[in-house]
Structure 1
């Protein structure tokens, strides 16, 4: 038996131009340069660089720039620096191509800390920098950053000044003054300036990681003007070391074992060191005795991989273990025997069990591998193994889908033991045959159906591969089903009517009833007891009886619920005078028949009716609305119709009819003798009306007048009567005042001639003492106010001429006007 472990030696080697063995370094593309220090084209060094790199205004230039500007020297135009097995590729000269650093970045255009990031992260065993310093040497700390977030401090490097340092990688390319135009000054040729290689080993424990970037931190020195320039990075890709081994164990009684290692990968050269005595230093260790061995493989980077191996003695003798039978049922025995070949063997022992002897018998309870050991003539232990398989005892486990089942329904058995189709299944249904499997497409399902109620025992024994299971039993209870039926006390019913629903079937006291009332709402009762149910709409009553595991459904009953009519009516009038006809509007709903009782002995069966009440009194009206001659609603309105006597209009007048009355005496007194009236209206024949009960009236003009009286009661009943003629004649003698005083005191301010009101065709003229007309009117409805043309006339006596009608003698005389 062998185990292999790897120990990685952490080591960092920083050099100048020392080459770590002859490994091949290839360029690593990076970004992060901060300065363009190479003049590569044109005639203006300032235009094609970004900064000077020393204290005397110098930059690097290419051979191409030198040729264009008449100077010698310069670095290679391609920027590819090759030295032995290493190659560096400088960044493009047309962009930033150097990481220009100084202490804390105190020199213009420099940084104190800079990071170069790999374009493609990769695992490396060795890295190398192309760099140089100006204004004396510089010290820079190098940190490796990996993609897994870890970092390693790779140590400090001393970057030598570009003049005179050794050992160098390349030199003698000259330096150029940074000017905008020729002539340029070149110095340092033929041996300066110089660039140096700085190699460092990636720590052994980190070589398998992907390098993401390299961080440089400038360490302040004695000269604050010193600067460091890092131009390129190269590296050696990491190849992990792997190995294989061939082991030959030693024979008992000898030292002829060996281990042969074959290693690939890693960094050459590889060296080996075994823990033998004396130490063996090749890939193969020979002449080994049994024991524990290690070999340290060291690669060219001083990284160590350690190999662990164990050699055991190998005997020329062997033993063979046999079991008979190799497969047994649980509780059965198997005979074990061991036979030796190739030498003398003794001291047989079997395990587990620590049983002695070449032959024995075992009764395992589970699959067991038995190991038999013995010793050969050199006391070397030899061994063999034999397996005894204990066949599983099949399970007869099964489940009953329904431990209780209703008579007439099959029950299902589910075999859960998992024996499979090759097993033999011995079912006993205890009174019904077990049939199956394959119920529902499942081969583990069986079924059985009993013909009588009772409790039955179902058993199963399973035999598989010659092994029988214990007997498993379960009980099934078969229940007799209930009888589900019911009756309803009334059907059809009216809306809101309550019926009695009675269970008429048979069931145990534990039975559960599930009613569906189909539009009804139970009012009382529970379970299978009589139930009072109120119905508001039609529906179907259904009943399901659950008695244990048995369920039965009764024949449903459809309830016909007739919508109960709603009686409603309105009369067009509720109060009237004898005789009065009332129109009744029937507003009943859900009705198809009607019966009216009108309170005066009258009845009707039409929907809408008219009825005439001929006698005074108060009447109660009842309407019975019916539906399908089964459901009725009655509405009675007590004292609904009030019939009262009608008014009787009559009156007398003083003076009476057909008596000529002079206008001045034409004041009439009317006496109202009406009955059953509360309001009155008089029409006097001249367009004038009055609402007084007993009016006094005077006509303004002569004529024959008809007077009409309208008598009404409180509910608008009316009667009228007329009398004619009331005769008004003009005054036979005109009364003329002989003085008036129009002084505005409200007394006698006008010369009023009332008798002229009955003479609309009269003419009145008034003259002063000089015969001048001071007043004239045709008709005389308003008396003269003593004005002439809007101005008061003076006090005095005035002469008047009054012509009452054509052909009549005029009235003449004097009237005194006083102020």
Structure 2
């Protein structure tokens, strides 16, 4: 019985084994193996330090990999030494064979504790020979170091020539990059050369004085200022001037003289006038005899015996008193004044003076500086006006209420963008028949024109020049007119000395091109005084235009591989006012969308992770690209590939999965997947992040590195 059971069990067992073998064989044909790679485990990274100063070396070691360790900076080997210029994360993969890689290793982060560079200010940008200048450094909680090895937040000295200063900040034993340079110019003002439009004039005539050759401020011996002046001397005068640059002053110029011819013969006038009833005023023009008409073209009626005396408000209706009349001939010369006495007699049933000579008022805008909040209004009284009063509906402050009123805008005025002024004179006879007068004038704020500037840098391109770390950077600068009116005379400046030369890099060449409507400065170098790359052009309201600046820089001797760059733009609005902005990083001049590009000025920063070796310079492979459709760096472009060589490209994600493959790559990868599982986006767009790639050239060369995809 037991034997029968055993034989039966053995039979069932044999059939079971055969069935399993057949099933396994059938499954092998039905589902062929698609991946024979046994993906290795990711390596484990250990570093010699996590916190360093700039240029300090750190040794990174990867363990647990029996194949080849490929690091995120492109190097291979189980141990590498790095000198990051800024806080950097490093990872690695283990490659068992081409196409068979591990996931990314856990990141080893190296924090570079280098402080920010200090900010310098100077007591004077222009000094005289032998003068003292004081430089102050801020934005440093540690020790400030100056080029002469001195320390401290303040440097005081007497430069012997035009000098550019910079400083560094040492904090926790780490030294910053050099500060933005500050230039102190040694000035030797040139003695101005004077000229005059007319060496001989009549009393009361204007004459124009001019001074040439001065690059600073011209100051005249009569207290005037400016290279071009109009004066009206009352007597023969001599003028000299000096030139000031900062606190420096030139010697006095040679003199120029203006001879003032004395006044001519007196007019033939009636020297006594009286009113004619029923009027209680007299007409001064009745004093002028007809015999004067052929010789004199005009007359001046003054309250005193000089042309500088106040003018008579209403010569045709004056009250009792003494007045002075001047005649002016065809040469523009005035006669000596003649005094005219006016007597007023009382009339029965007299017409009040204020009726025959009613008070009148007019007002005009004298000057406006809305930015500083200062308005000057000029009163033009007439008739019997004696007293004037100023008022404003905005509640601002009048600091002068004379014929020219000075008014400080209130916050209400600024918010409304306008100020309403009322000029009035009281009723001259109280309960009588006369009436006062008033006039109003509204002053509007000038239209607010806004200009904005953004600046984006493309990925660095290393160039083939043996023995030299030559890199090419292209900046896109976008100028935006955010106002309601056109802007003209647009100037765009970019100081490459501040961005590169101050760090020891050498600017080798520059190229500039711009949209139509902008005028490129052909002399632009970005260095010294030649920092203006656009020297004119116009921009319609709510429009933008672009320019591109390509710079080739030798960084082989630079003391940093991080470069900070800013640009500035200015334009002239419809009121002749200049509006300015400083660039902000990226494509948007107003990234916070608050309507004011002026509060966005993030610098444009580019970091070169390392200087490429001579071998790498024979082929350029970018560290990343940004396929966002802005026309800049939208494709993964491999440069300097020989014409007869084909390129095979494979890209893997952080889990070691193949996401893109091309056996004859034509620089057309736009960040979409063509291998593996589909991504969520219907366009198969890969997410931003770090990817590992393998490039094989048909000439046998192979490159394995990491890239960054960032839209």
TM-score for both structures, normalised by structure 1: 0.21
**More helix, by proportion:** 2
**More strand, by proportion:** 1
Q: Which has the higher contact order (CA 8 A, sep 6+)?
A: 2
